[in-house]
Amino acid sequence: MSVKQISIFVENKPGTMHDMTQVLADHSIDIRALSLTETEGFGIVRIIVDDVLETTSVLKQEGYVCRLTPVVIAEIPDEPGGLNRVLTIFHDNQINVEYMYATLGGGAKRALMIFRVDDDKRAERELREKHIQLIEQSDIAEL
Amino acid sequence: MERYFQKEIECAPREEIIRIQNEKLVKQVKHVWDDVPYYRRKMEEKGVTPEDIRSIEDLHKLPFLSKADLRESYPYGLLGCPLKECVRIHSTSGTTGRRVVAFYTQKDLDLWTDCTARAIVAAGGTDEDVCQVSYGYGLFTGGAGLDGGSHKVGCLTVPTSSGNTQRQIMFIQDLQTTILCCTPSYAAYLAETMEEMGLAPEDIPLKAGIFGAEAWSEEMRRDIEQKMGIKAYDIYGLTELSGPGVAFECSAQNGMHINEDHFIAEVIDPDTGEPLPDGEQGELVFTSLDKRAFPLLRYRTRDICVLSREKCSCGRTHVKMMKPRGRTDDMLIIRGVNVFPSQIETVLLNHGYPANYQIIVDRVNNSDTLDVHVEMTPEMFTDNIADITKRQKELVDGMKAMLGIKAVVTLVAPKSITRSEGKAVRVIDKRKI
């Protein structure tokens, strides 16, 4: 089961990230991972949270446009070649990575890598087969 | 075979139309002089009396009425008969200021719905048709106008009013609706929804649509026609004059025939007020010849438009008005080009965006800049930057094609466009000229 990432539309101007995180802080929502991609005029903030439903309803209520996107979160041993091992599996199976970002969590000596791929079902199957530890939606609260 | 609701008058020879207009104008001016003190004062100020108006050649001698006059005389100042003769009012949305309330006698309603019946028949309607009226019913003239016309034609009338898209589609399918009447943006939305439901044009029983009450482009027409498998006809009107049906499109789908037996149309220079010859672009002015309860003479619509007297293939002889280009009061001149916010709105609607936008005009290094802010919507937002920028580029290209000048499109946060009294401020002109 993939994890649901929340993608949020923000304008590229001072204060927008502050305002958005303020909304989350006001509702005691813990951000487990975050990435920001920007263009000249706007950006997309991508976050991983524990309670997706509550977070999206809070954001919508505050007037944000957001969308859920399935992502695959894999545990990567924090050692040289760790990430490469996972990417090799994608490469061998012709799975395309659209974007990825990392977050800490899950204890010492490992990182979590968040992947947006063109086929998350297949990606998960292949990773599991190669004994890569995957994070489920239900694991997010524990991170 | 072209069909007509009132063939004799719709295809009357030019001289006959002029004869009717002359006769009715003289009577109408007398009626207004006698019964509408507000307009009588305007005539007196100009030194005109009913005796000066002997034919439509004298029309230019009469003073204009503007939206400001209507507001000033709200609610009863322009009433042309005792209230006991009136049976109905309709009202504008009041989005640009105070509401305008228009009154109708039973005969006014009857003549108005003759006009909408002409439009329905011109779109191919007969008593065999099922006509779904998805314009709003109520104060708005759309619902009542087409409803009345549909009854006159003898269609099975389905008065769904606007909204509740699922129910609209259910009725279209279950009752085999053949004619749809609504605003073009709602038609586009219905077409899109039906497409998403997997309905192919041949699965949709509709054959014609009568769409009006807002600006729409040829691209939008083609798109709706294709998705629904119909012919889409434009209809024009103003609450001040009666409602939809002042003018309507025929099978030629190239301009709308103005019902000249009920209205005289003029095109004037909006700055000088001088009448312009046919074929020249200017502000559209209407004189209503038959309205008793709300008889407006030389009412300035603020719609910028061209009239055409070229012979029409449909056989109708009434003058045609081309689709209004925009409105006099919101025209912008940017880099020497006339730009109407309605054109930008059309591009947005055609690309699936709601009409939530703000136009910011500025002057940088002696050159005008045009920046269009468009609010992001849940429908248009995806997680994919490339998709969003591609759509943004399509908007820029669409505006270039529509306006002839380049615009910058900035996507902004939802509800970030300033609204005053519930309506967005559409244009911010920062130029200091």
What is the rounded (10 degree) CA torsion for B23, B29, B31, B32?
160
Q: Please give the helix or strand (H or E) that residue B333 lies within, else none.
A: strand B332-334
**H helices present in B206-298, as ranges:** 218-228
More confident residue, B404 or A92: A92
Say whether B427 sits in a helix, a strand or coil. Answer: strand
Say whether both A109 and A85 belong to one domain: yes
Q: State the pLDDT at residue B63.
A: 97
Selected residue of A8, A9, A48 to mutate for chain B interface (largest B Cβ count, 10 A): A9
DSSP label at residue A14: T
Nearest by CB to A42, from B377, B384, B411: name it.
B411
Q: Write down which residue in A25, A49, A69 finishes a domain.
A: A69
* ipTM here: 0.85
**Could you say which of A69, A104, A122 is where a domain stops?**
A69
From CA B202, how far away is CA B210, in angstroms rounded? Answer: 19
Closest residue in B to A60 (Cα) is B378
Which residue of chain A comes nearest to B412, CA vs CA? A11
Does residue A24 sit in the same domain as residue A47? yes
> To probe the interface with A, which of B383, B408, B418 has the most A CB atoms within 10 Å?
B383
With a CB cutoff of 8 Å and minimum separation 6, the contacts of B243 are B90, B112, B116, B141, B142, B144, B145, B237
Q: What is the DSSP letter of B65?
A: B
Residue B271 is predicted with a pLDDT of 85
Q: Are residues A78 and A52 in the same domain?
A: no
Q: ∠ CA(B93), CA(B420), CA(B89), 5° rounding? A: 15
CA dihedral of residues B200, B203, B206, B211 (deg, nearest 10) = -20
Q: What is the pLDDT of residue B235?
A: 97
Assess whether A51 and A29 both reside in one domain: yes
Residues of A with CB under 8 A from a CB of B: 5, 7, 9-11, 16, 37, 39, 41-42, 44, 46, 63-67, 69, 98, 116
Under DSSP, the state recorded for B275 is: B
CB pair distance less than 8 Å for B385 and A46 = no
Looking at the fold, whether A83 and A127 belong to one and the same domain comes out as yes
- Please give the Cα distance from B312 to B247 (Å, whole number): 14
Q: How many CB pairs under 8 A join A and B?
A: 47
**How many domains are there within chain A?**
2
How many residues in chain A? 143
Eight-state DSSP code of residue B234? E
pLDDT tens for chain B, 433 residues: list them.
889 999 999 999 999 999 999 999 999 999 999 999 999 999 999 999 999 999 999 999 999 999 889 988 999 999 999 999 999 999 986 555 567 899 999 999 999 999 999 999 999 999 999 999 999 999 999 999 999 999 999 999 999 998 888 999 999 999 999 999 998 878 888 998 898 889 999 999 999 999 988 777 787 798 899 999 999 999 999 999 999 999 999 999 999 999 999 999 999 998 899 999 989 999 999 999 999 999 999 999 988 899 999 999 999 999 999 988 777 767 788 887 778 887 888 888 888 887 678 999 998 888 889 999 998 988 889 999 989 999 999 999 999 888 888 999 999 988 787 654 444 578 888 886 5
Q: Which of residues 397-426 of B touch A (CB under 8 A)?
A: 410-416
- Between B165-174 and B184-196, two packed helices, what is the crossing angle to 10 degrees? 70
Residues A107 and A65 in one domain: no
The neighbouring-strand residues paired with A44 are: A9, A37
With contact defined as beta carbons under 8 Å apart, do B136 and B162 qualify? yes
Whether residues B378 and A98 touch (CB distance < 8 A) is answered with no
Give A3→chain B minimum CA distance, Å. 15
As a whole number of angstroms, the distance between CA A142 and CA A64 comes to: 27
B430: closest CA of chain A, how far (Å): 20
Tokens of B111: 């003549």
Measured CA to CA, the distance from residue B230 to residue B18 in angstroms comes to 35
* A136 in the same domain as A103: yes
Contact across the interface for A65 and B383, Cβ inside 8 Å: no
User: For chain A, what is the mean pLDDT?
Assistant: 91
In this structure, the strands spanning B243-249 and B231-238 are antiparallel
Looking at the structure, tell me whether residues A81 and A120 fall in a common domain: yes
- The Cα–Cα gap between B351 and B223 comes to 11
CA distance linking residue B23 with residue B21, whole number of Å: 5
Closest to B372 in 3D by CA, of B331, B400, B336, B352: B400
**In this predicted structure, what is the pLDDT of residue B421?**
46
**Separation between Cα atoms, residue B414 and residue A9, nearest integer Å:** 9
CATH class, range B1-328: alpha beta
Rounded Cα–Cα distance for residues B194 and B91 (Å): 32
For residue A62, pLDDT over 70 is answered with yes
Provide, as residue numbers in chain A, all residues whose Cβ is less than 8 Å from the Cβ of B413: 9-11, 16, 63-65
Of A105, A126, A114, A121, nearest to A73 by C-alpha is: A114
Can you give the residue range of the structural domain that contains A57? Answer: 3-69
Q: B87 near B105, Cβ under 8 Å?
A: yes
The more confident residue out of B328 and A99 is A99
Distance CA B413, CA B374 (A): 8
Domain holding A17: CATH number?
Answer: 3.30.2130.10
Q: Which of A69, A97, A126 is the last residue of a domain?
A: A69
Sign of CA dihedral B200, B206, B209, B214: negative
Our CA-based measurement puts residue A113 at a distance from the nearest CA of chain B, in whole angstroms, of 18
Taking the C-alpha atoms of residue B200 and residue B405, their distance in angstroms, rounded to an integer, is 37
Q: Are residues A20 and A79 in the same domain?
A: no
Nearest to B376 among A39, A46, A65 (CB): A65
Note whether A58 and A96 are same-domain residues. no
Task: Identify which of B92, B54, B43 has the alpha carbon closest to the alpha carbon of residue B241.
Answer: B92
Task: Select from B125, B184, B190 the least CA-distant residue to B157.
Answer: B125
Give the C-alpha distances (Å, rounded to integers) separating B315 from A45, B1, B12, B64.
60, 11, 9, 32
Strand partners, B258: B247
Q: What angle do CA B88, B93, B99 make, to 5 degrees?
A: 70
Residue A40 and residue A26 in one domain: yes
Q: For residues B43 and B297, is the Cβ–Cβ distance under 8 A? A: no
Domain boundaries, chain B: 1-328, 331-429
CA dist., res. A32 & res. A44, Å (int)? 17
Q: What angle do CA A97, A100, A106 make, to 5 degrees?
A: 125
CA distance B56 to B421: 42
Give B356→chain A minimum CA distance, Å.
Answer: 15
Whether B297 and B286 have beta carbons less than 8 Å apart is answered as: no
- Which residues partner with B410 through β-bridges? B373
Distance in angstroms (rounded) separating the CA atoms of residues B366 and A100? 45
Cα separation of B29 and B35, whole Å?
A: 10
Question: Which has the closest alpha carbon to A121: A71, A52, A50?
Answer: A71
CATH 3.40.980.10 fits B331-429, yes or no: no
**A67–B382 C-beta distance less than 8 A:** yes
Provide the pLDDT for residue B377. 87
For residue B419, the model assigns a pLDDT of 58
So what's the pLDDT on residue B291? Answer: 97
For residue A16, which residues of chain B lie inside 8 Å, CB to CB? Answer: 413
Q: DSSP assignment, residue B51?
A: G
Lookup result for tokens 């001016």 = B29
What is the pLDDT at residue B405?
86
Indicate the residue of A5, A11, A67 with minimum beta-carbon distance to B413: A11
Whose tokens are 């061209």? That residue is B306
* A37 contacts B384? CB cut-off 8 A: no
For chain A, what is the largest distance between any 2 Cα atoms, rounded to a whole number of angstroms? 45
